[in-house]
Structure 1
Amino acid sequence: MTDAEVAELRAQVAALQAERATLTALVDARGEDLAVAARVLRARAATMTSVVDAITEQSVVGTDRDGVVRVWNPGAERLLGLPRADVVRRRRITDFHDPAELAGRGLDALVSVASARGSDVRDWTYVAADGTRRTVSVAVTPRADDDGGPAGWTFVGTDTTEARAAERLKDQFVALVSHELRTPLSSVLGYLELVLDDPALGAGHRRYLTTVQRNASRLERLVGDLLFTAQVEAGRFALTPGEVDLAALVRAAGESARVTADAAGVALAVTAPSAGPVVPGDALRLGQAVDNLLSNAVKFTPRGGRVELGLGTADDGEVRIEVRDTGVGIPGAERAGLGTRFTRATTAVRAGVPGVGLGLSITHAIAAAHGGRLELAGTEGRGTTATLVLPR
């Protein structure tokens, strides 16, 4: 081998050694990066575990795609009576559900809505290790892996057993009391009508009995409202479908409210077309909704104020029945909560306006049952605009 060939081989060896040194340095650097990343991931996992473990009032259960439990926090241990070691990788989330509610669909019954919409919240019945059944509001969300693919599901449960039981008792109480009140009230009103029809009744007695009749009728309406809200809460609210002429309905509501408005010193203006629009719905319930809005407007408007009732059609084809007043108004932060029964605006309470907080909740229910909605707007101290929006 010539000196030139030896020199060339030496040069190649030197180049390979240099390349190896470079690769070794890269491997060492990459190894350091990987070690740092591993430490960061371990720290994040430890943080997440500590956060999940700190949640003791809610059960947090994480599963893989097949529903096998991978995460089981102290809240789940307390609610379902099993330690983590007995559940993780050994049990499925469906093991803790009432089989009747799953209806043979298994995990799909729990996650189908969340899979389609990204999340789902509803009540389910959990069955603990000792057979105790608990009503739990469960929020279900999908989990993704590092590549964004489906990794499983997270179930966050809040025990609502006592709250739901209290709601049922309240509804039963309202329905029972309402029924027990309605029977004697019907008798009282019937006999009052007979007595008032007597031509021999003196003017003074007639005035007194008319006052009794008016207040008994008011109480009967309140009982009817209580029964109606109990039906709504129990899911037994049904409509009698038909074709409803909203123009005629608005004019009739205006005439009914005019006597009360005149007595309260409130000007009432009604604007409605001579005919139409006609919408599908329950005329009695829609009339009740408009009556509620008008009654509220007159009641919350001081003497000398004004109430306007109007009917129109929006560009998107929706029909809008609008009641505008110059009354006490509703604080903006309270508008969203006024659809809940027995809830009243603080402005109404401060003004000493009588009521129990049922009118708007009833109107909300009627609007929703017709595929519509109730919108509230206005300024505290300067009036309210309530709009019943209905599809055509």
Structure 2
Amino acid sequence: MTTATAPDAARLRALEARVAELEAERATLTALVDARGEELAVAARMLRARAATMTGVVDAITRQSVVGTDLDGVVRVWNPGAERLLGVPRAAVVRRRRITDFHDPAELGGRGLDALVRTAAECGSDVRDWTYVAADGTRRTVSVAVTPRSDGSGPGGGQDGWTFVGTDMTEVRAAERLKDQFVALVSHELRTPLSSVLGYLELVLDDPDLGAGTRRHLGTVQCNAARLERLVGDLLFTAQVEAGRFALTPGEVDLAALLRAAGESAQVTADGAGVTLAVTAPASGPVVPGDALRLGQAVDNLVSNAVKFTPRGGRVELGLGTADGRAGSPAGGEVSIEVRDTGVGIPGAERAGLGTRFTRATTAVRAGVPGVGLGLSITHAIAAAHGGRLELASTEGRGTTATLVLPR
């Protein structure tokens, strides 16, 4: 029997020690793998639960269509709302059809998916009306919100598709068209007899033998008929704006002259209401390109509102300024007309909505100020048509500053 030499025994002991170390490392790695495996299993369960929750939420939405697509527009998500709106079951659409298959081809203009998502790609989101075509050929007007979709499965973990959330607006848009047609029709039918009434009133009032009492009564009739004519004109104007038939007669407009004319027109009303009306304007200029008639209408609306909403003893100031609010003769790229009052003011939460026609501030309603809520919507439309804007700054109970900003 051969006895191991001392060096061999030392090497054997070293190998045994190394094996023991590797066994310990293996045990440690096994424990780590088991732990990581359990963590991954928990994460997978959480992801499945989250996905199930999201699917449940999307499927619970039945009044809006929710459609998710990949980057090429192939449908990956199709909720019950989409089934109801377009009449196609999920199984027949997912991975089989594209979102563009359900759009009016004429609206896409040959650009396919790009027509739907370009604005959302540039701005992060887009909302506009599109025409959806259902399985039975029914055409629906749908307000569609488009946003990029990402669940981390896209290239490099980035965007992997698009989400289209649609709300059926067919009945709403039809009602709006009918309302506009009704307003236009009634306005036209009212304008003709009103013109006749005002014409004959002028003839009667020209009679030198008319008694003072009768003249006073007929003057009241004339005043109210003129007020009704202005209302009819406002209704017609809003109908034209909504129908896209609002045209301007271009020219050059002296804003200082426009401001003085607005002050002169409102002076009698202000005196009768016990409101001080002050106009600050240079002898001439600045001059801006625009329609003098429409800009005059916009300023008249602002001054009329300011006087109407200012209690007796209050003050209304008219002036020119730069777009940043500095008073004086303006210069630069923008100029502004400012109308400041010490009236009832506008609640902050309501300020943004006052550009919508037939909308009035609650402070005006509580104060019993007459009106139908057309003046500011008309002024907004006129400002926008001139490339400008209308800004409102107000404190409830302390007054309002309306600023009509126009490009030079």
TM range (shorter): over 0.9
So what's the TM-score if we normalise by structure 2?
A: 0.91
Show the 5 A alignment for 1:153-172: 153-172=162-181
> 1:116-142, CA deviations, whole angstroms, 9 ceiling, x for partnerless residues?
110000011111122221111110000
TM-score scaled by structure 1? 0.95
CA distance, structure 2, for counterparts of residue 332 and residue 152 of structure 1: 39
Report if the CA contact (8 A) 1:272-1:312 is conserved. no
Alignment of 1:16-27 (within 5 A): 16-27=22-33
Aligned to 1:318: 334
Please, what is the CA RMSD of the aligned residues?
1.8
Paired residue type of 2:178: L
370-379 vs 292-301, which moves further:
370-379
Structure 1 unmatched runs, 5+:
none
**Segment drifting more, 294-303 vs 14-23:** 14-23
Pair 1:298 & 2:307 matched: yes
For 2:288 and 2:115, the matched residues in 1 are separated by: 37
CA distance in 2, matches of 1:271, 1:100: 54
Matched, 1:241 2:257: no
Higher alpha-carbon deviation: 262-271 or 246-255: 262-271
Paired amino acid for 2:378? I
In structure 1, the partner of 2:40 is 34
Moved more, 245-254 or 368-377: 368-377
CA drift of 1:349 comes to: 1.6
Deviations 1:96-130 (A, max 9, x none): 11111111111111101101110000011111122
Q: Which residue of 1 aligns with 2:183?
A: 174
**Paired residue for 1:365, among 363, 381, 393?**
381
Q: Tell me the amino acid that sits aligned with residue 106 of structure 1.
A: G
| Match runs of 1:125-144 below 5 Å | 125-144=131-150
Kept in 1, the 8 Å contact 2:323–2:405? The answer is no
Specify the SS of the correspondent of 2:66.
Answer: strand
State the distance in 1 between where 2:24 and 2:157 align: 41
Alignment partners' CA distance in 1, 2:230 and 2:93: 55
Cα shift at 1:318: 2.9
My pick for the range that moved more, 104-113 or 309-318, is 309-318
Q: Pick the aligned partner of 2:81 from 69, 75, 83.
A: 75
Match of residue 327 from structure 2: none
Q: Are 2:203 and 1:194 aligned?
A: yes
Distance across 1 between alignment mates of 2:40 and 2:57: 25
2:125 alignment partner in structure 1: 119
Q: Does 1:101 align with 2:104?
A: no
Structure 1 position 218, deviation (Å) = 1.1
The question of whether the paired residues in 2 share the 8 Å contact of 1:322 and 1:387 is answered with: yes
Q: Distance in 1 between matches of 2:205 and 2:26?
A: 113
CA offset at residue 157 of structure 1?
A: 0.7
What secondary structure does 2:288 align onto? strand
**Structure 1 CA distance, aligned partners of 2:76 and 2:316?**
61
Q: 1:342: which partner in 2?
A: 358
Instruction: Give 1:8 deviation, angstroms.
Output: 4.1
Given residue 280 of structure 1, which amino acid in structure 2 is its aligned partner?
Answer: P
**Structure 1, 158-167 or 201-210: larger mean CA deviation:** 201-210
* Structure 2 portions without partners, runs of 5+: 325-331
Residue identity (%): 88
Letter in 1 for 2:98: R
CA distance in 2: counterparts of 1:260 and 1:30, whole angstroms: 82
User: Residues of 1 paired with 2:31 and 2:347: CA distance?
Assistant: 68
Which amino acid in 2 is paired with 1:76?
Answer: A
For residue 42 of structure 2, what is the amino acid of its counterpart? V
Aligned equivalents of 1:240 and 1:55: distance in 2? 49
Alpha-carbon shift at residue 223 of structure 1 (Å): 0.6
**Partner residue of 2:318?**
309
Following the alignment from structure 2 to structure 1, what is the Cα–Cα distance between the partners of residues 341 and 407? Answer: 24
Deviations 1:207-264 (A, max 9, x none): 3322222221111111110011111111221222222111111011111111211122
2: distance between equivalents of 1:111 and 1:273? 50
Give, in whole Å, the separation in 2 of the partners of 1:379 and 1:110. Answer: 42
| More displaced 10-residue stretch of structure 1: 91-100 or 197-206 | 197-206
Distance 2:24 2:59 in 1: 52
Task: Find the counterpart in structure 2 of residue 210 from structure 1.
Answer: 219
